Amino acid sequence: MASDLDLRAGRLRRSFNLLAPAYDFLFFQTTEEVWEAALSLLQPQEGEKILDVGSGTGRLLIALSQLVGASGSVQGLDISPAMCRSAERQIARTPHPSEIAVIPGDARRLPFADDSFDGAVSVLTLELLQRGQTEAALGELSRVVRRGGRIVVASIADAVTSDRPLQYYELLRRAFPLAYFGRPIALRRLAHAAGLTPRIAMRRAFLRLPVDVLLIGVPQ
Ligand SMILES: C[S@@+](CC[C@H](N)C(=O)[O-])C[C@H]1O[C@@H](n2cnc3c(N)ncnc32)[C@H](O)[C@@H]1O
């Protein structure tokens, strides 16, 4: 019988399958500043192998490909097959120097061997996982990134604020519990709970909601 976690993953997959055709139209512009912050922290280098978990419509995969160049490679993974197909279409029509592959998969159980990547990124995805599962996904990121590598994660922040957008967002989340809404999370605390030490943090915005962007070094 499917567990609660798998039921939620199935619901998320279906929501993003439905959202895929409209995703870029709705969210491209508002995500740009988060991608820029993530890239500035990750600092991908020529020849590196980089993973993007929750790669969505593939916009960040293409930007990563420009940075790692022809000698590098980029791997996307997303739970929604429709998002993966959108990414593949986007990749096919945009020039990119490196190899880019996208596969369907779950952030909580990455289908890659230990130490497979120089770096990994996950933008606006960890907050979609159920309580307790974000730490598992962070653990998986650190498992597949080599020692001395870098991880950058960005999620809607569980900020103590009188900020209206975050309050409205909470109201929406409560009013429509079955719809897709990420749960604002304390990313830094969750990283510590997963045994990781964030090195640098930036605050950005997505739909005027606060987003924390963290650089985590994988210990040598
Ligand atoms: C809000 S979108 C962000 C997409 C992309 N990172 C971006 O910045 O545009 C979240 C993405 O995470 C994917 N996702 C949700 N749960 C996931 C999981 N457990 N494993 C992998 N991907 C997941 C969704 O299908 C969706 O494409």
Tens digit of each residue's pLDDT (9 = 90 or more) over 17-76: 988 999 999 889 989 999 999 999 999 999 999 999 999 999 999 999 999 999 999 999
Q: Within 13 Å of residue 168, how many CA atoms lie on the same side as its CB?
A: 7
What is the number of domains present in the chain?
1
User: pLDDT below 70 — which residues of the chain?
Assistant: 1-2, 4-5, 160-163, 176-180
Domain that holds residue 172: 4-217
Rounded CA separation 86/77 (Å): 12
pTM of the predicted protein model: 0.94
218: tokens are: 């994988």
DSSP state for residue 106 in the 8-state scheme:
B
CATH code where residue 48 lies: 3.40.50.150
Cα of 123 to ligand 1 centre, how many Å? Answer: 8
99: closest CA among 149, 132, 62? Answer: 62
Name which of 17, 102, 23, 115 is nearest 61 in CA terms. Answer: 102
In this structure, the residue with its CA closest to atom 5 of ligand 1 is 56
Element (H, E) at 120: strand 117-123
Kindly give the distance from the C-alpha atom of residue 78 to the centroid of ligand 1, in angstroms, as a whole number. Answer: 6
